[in-house]
Structure 1
């Protein structure tokens, strides 16, 4: 998910677009923008970069294992004795 800093940067940019005459409303708008953005991002079902990287590593190990097993099955089907690593 997008980090707290990212949300704060977006909120700051949105609040900076509000005309200066509404300075009193800036604090309320900042809180409202932050809540709306955070709620919207939660609904997107995003994952953190760390979670993504972990799953990428799991997938790479799984692919390697599947390739090993496919090779072994092919050897067994061909009647070739399996080679141990």
Structure 2
């Protein structure tokens, strides 16, 4: 789910943008940045794109079913009122 290449890229970009006086710590900073990013991303409640799309489809079908049921209820209520 979490692309390790992207995390490495972000960590590398962070270390490349260190001030010149801190360049000697770039390797250690990059490694620590990767660890922090991975840890924080794992704490997030993320889903894969595929799972999101499946759930989106389920929601669409549920809405369609709900609308059909609501239509049936409306028709039944209408018939009850007409019979009175």
Q: Which runs of 5 or more residues in structure 1 are unaligned? A: 81-85
Q: How does 1:52-63 map to 2 (within 5 A)?
A: 52-63=52-63
Structure 2 unaligned residues grouped into runs of 5+: none
RMSD: 2.4
- Partner Cα distance (2:59, 2:23) in 1: 54
User: Greater helix percent: which structure?
Assistant: 2
TM-score w.r.t. the length of structure 2 is: 0.72
- Bigger relative contact order, structure 1 or 2, given CA contacts below 8 A and separation 6+? 1
Structure 1 moving runs of 4+ over 3 Å? 18-21
Q: Does 1:50 align with 2:50?
A: yes
Q: Which residue of 1 aligns with 2:24?
A: 22
The residue correspondences of 1:3-82 to structure 2 (distance < 5 A) are 3-18=3-18, 19=20, 21-22=23-24, 25-26=26-27, 28-79=28-79
What is the CA deviation profile of residues 30-61 of structure 1, one whole-angstrom value per residue up to 9, with x for unaligned ones? Answer: 22111100111122222222222221111111
